[in-house]
Every structure is written in structure tokens, then in C-alpha cells.
Structure 1
Amino acid sequence: RNFRLLSSAHLSASDRPNWSRVPGIEVLLEQGYVQFELWTGRKCPKEQVSTRVLERY
């Protein structure tokens, strides 16, 4: 976790009314859930996956 969150045009834009920020890890998790389901044809165990990912993040 050695990083700095830099201000950018994208972050500034998200300060506008009716905009919201989503942490990057949440975006990656959602992508992973969908990919799991597409590749395996099974429902993703989201709680188990997110727990394991967040343990290591």
C-alpha cells in the first residue's frame, strides 16, 4: 500500500453534484465477479472472493 492518491481531472470531476467516487478495488472486484461467471458459468461466491481479496489488499 505504498502509493499516493494524486489529484487529477477525473477526481476533480467527481466532486461535482450527482457524481460519486468508487474505490478502485471495488471496481476490480465487480469485474472479477462477472469474469468468474462468464468463464465458469457458475454464480460467483462474491462474499468469499471479496473477503480473500481484501485480506491481501
Structure 2
Amino acid sequence: MIQTRGRPKGNGGPPLARFLRRCGWPPALAASVVTVTFLLVAAGTRYGRMNL
């Protein structure tokens, strides 16, 4: 990758993390929120399937 100036180009992570970073959240906190959200959704999906 050729970098002309400024920060290296990259996608900045998942869309939620990018949004939180643009709002001024620190990178580690934004990544943690994305991870916890994913785990809650996965646990909710698993729990919901067990009750069917």
C-alpha cells in the first residue's frame, strides 16, 4: 500500500466502531463495545433457539 500523507488507509473496523471513533471514543473502548454487543446478540440468539 502506498501512503502519500496522513494516516494509513484502512477500513477502520466494523461500522459501529467507525461511528464511535468519529464521535470521539477511544479505539479500545469502541472495540470493546462492538465485542460486547456481538456477544450479547449471539447469546440472545442461542437462548432464543433453546426455547423453541
TM-score, length-normalised on structure 1?
0.38
TM-score, length-normalised on structure 2?
0.40
Rg (Cα) greater in structure: 2
